[in-house]
């Protein structure tokens, strides 16, 4: 899964540390999400989207939408 979290974080003027504190997670978690090494749980993704005043799909999306249904 890919994400636009760094762009949203910068748009809302959060440092990695301040965003982590706001969300109740570690700075390392924020770094891992931004690098695509960790996918947040659905509840955390929803909290992030609410904080950034958007929907989950605007921040987190599938890299390759050419999957079999």
Please name which of 11, 66, 22 lies closest in space to residue 47, comparing C-alpha atoms.
Answer: 22
* pLDDT number for residue 19: 98
Distance (Å, whole) CA 50 – CA 64: 25
Q: For residue 10, what are the contacts with CB-CB under 8 A and spacing of at least 6? A: none
pLDDT band at 67 (very low <50, low <70, confident <90, very high): low
Write out pLDDT tens, residues 6-61.
Answer: 999 999 999 999 999 999 999 999 999 999 999 999 999 999 999 999 999 999 99
- CATH code for the structural domain at 2-61: 1.10.260.40
* pLDDT number for residue 14: 98
């Amino acid at each position: 899964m890919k994400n636009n979290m760094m762009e949203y974080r910068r748009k809302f003027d959060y440092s990695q540390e301040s965003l982590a504190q706001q969300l109740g997670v570690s700075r390392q978690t924020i770094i891992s999400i931004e690098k695509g090494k960790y996918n947040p749980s659905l509840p955390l993704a929803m909290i992030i989207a609410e904080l950034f005043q958007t929907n989950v799909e605007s921040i987190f999306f599938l890299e390759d939408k050419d999957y079999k249904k």
